[in-house]
Amino acid sequence: MEREWLFDDEHRMFRESFGKWVEKEIAPKAEDWEAEGEFPFELYKQVGELGFFAGNFPEEYGGVGGDFRYMVVFSEELARCRSGGTAAGLGLHYTVAMPYIRDFGNHEQKEKYLAPGLRGESIGALAVTEPDAGSDVAGIRTRAVRDGDEFVINGSKIFITNGVRADWYIVACKTEPAQGSRGISHIMVDKGTPGFTVSRKLDKLGWRASDTGELAFDDVRVPATNVLGGLNRGFHQTMHGFQTERMTMAAGSTAAAQHCFDITLDYCKRREAFGTPIGSFQVNKHKFADMLTWIEASRRLIYHTVWLWINGLECAKEVAMCKVFCCENAVKVADMCIQLHGGYGYMMEYEVQRIWRDQRIQPIGGGTSEIQKEIIGKLLGL
């Protein structure tokens, strides 16, 4: 009997082949990419050609028609690739940007973005956050004004994953400023559109191999048909997109915590102090017991929530709980693993420090822990 009830044979087969590929093709090179600050752009194409982007997308556009569990497995397996930045770049394209096109795009947009996106030939980014508006999505200021058959966009975006190298951007713009959250639309902007520039590649604590960009829009003209989904429906669409984004983040963080736990357990069985393996000191044994409990509890919560989601059951509260609990547990585990490594844990050649740096963004990106707790409170009627 399988211990993991959530997945079917098709997901297990996908895990087997994708996991092996990650271990063979990414893990040995990933530390170099982290040091260089970039993973090769061709990697998207390799992933696409091998069909690893196909899960959870319609067959009509080159997908396999599978469910969301493919994205969960994808995130879990990538979490062991030894580069949070590589996982973030590939994951943002597959589990965040492309689902927007799948869920809200019309046929022409799906032909244009989804089909090549699944082959890894054309890469997407989602641009919502601005220098003066992150948690407060409704407070964005980037403006799109209708002019005949076009929209003219002015404004800026910050912290955009794949922001420097993407081929297309889903840009959240104010189309009816007086309407607040009901006046936001998603508008597609292609790389190379006049007036659209990447102003900066940002330097950051973790996810070193991913390109996080600051974007500028200066009288950028795009056809009115570039609106993705409903006009002024952008806030609603973003909240929908957040659900699966947050679940894949929670699943990835839990898998990263497990990986960090595994390498630390191995280390603590081998490293000796006072003539005995450091793991055998009671205080350290208890640390492992605590960490394993946090990881197992995180995994149960995220798997239960994914089950609710794929069965079409209400799970907004659970998604927010996962985002807080799993992501914060991963940071706690990574921090404890550094302590268990002693001075070696602080050295760049030991993996635990990178996991800690890479996980530190998880309770911030995709909606902070505080915002998740606000959501839970609101759903409780508080």
Which residues of this protein are in contact with ligand FAD, per CB under 6 A?
92, 126-129, 134-135, 159-161, 204, 207, 212, 361, 364-368, 370-371, 374
User: Which segments within 131-232 are labelled E, that is strand?
Assistant: 143-147, 150-161, 168-174, 184-190, 196-201, 212-223, 227-228
Q: Which residues contact 377 (CB under 8 A, 6 or more apart)?
A: none
Closest alpha carbon to 124 in 155, 163, 156: 163
- Say which of 34, 38, 245, 328 is annotated catalytic: 245
Could you tell me the smallest distance in angstroms from the CB atom of residue 245 to ligand FAD? 9
Helix, strand and coil percent figures for the chain, each rounded to 5: 55, 15, 30
In the bound state with ligand FAD, the residue whose beta carbon lies nearer, of 158 and 352, is 158
Active site residue 245: yes
Q: Provide the 8-state DSSP code for 224.
A: G
Q: Among 354, 34, 22, 37, which Cα is nearest to 164's?
A: 37
Residue nearest to ligand FAD (CB): 134
**175 or 284: CB nearest ligand FAD:** 175
Which sign does the torsion angle of CA 356, 358, 362, 368 carry? positive
In angstroms, what is the minimal distance from the CB of 90 to ligand FAD? Answer: 13
Shortest Å, Cβ 201 to ligand FAD: 12
Q: For ligand FAD, give the closer residue by CB, 212 or 226.
A: 212
* Choice between 117 and 365, CB closer to ligand FAD: 365
CA–CA dist 171, 154 (Å, integer) = 11
| Shortest distance, position 369 Cβ to ligand FAD, whole Å | 7
Question: What backbone torsions phi and psi does residue 91 show, to the nearest 5 degrees?
Answer: -65, -40
How open is the CA angle 46-52-53, to the nearest 5 degrees?
95
Closer by beta carbon to ligand FAD, 249 or else 340: 249
**Shortest distance in whole angstroms from residue 7 CB to ligand FAD:** 28
Q: Is 192 exposed, middle or buried (0-12, 13-18, 19+ CB in 10 A)?
A: exposed
List active site positions: 245
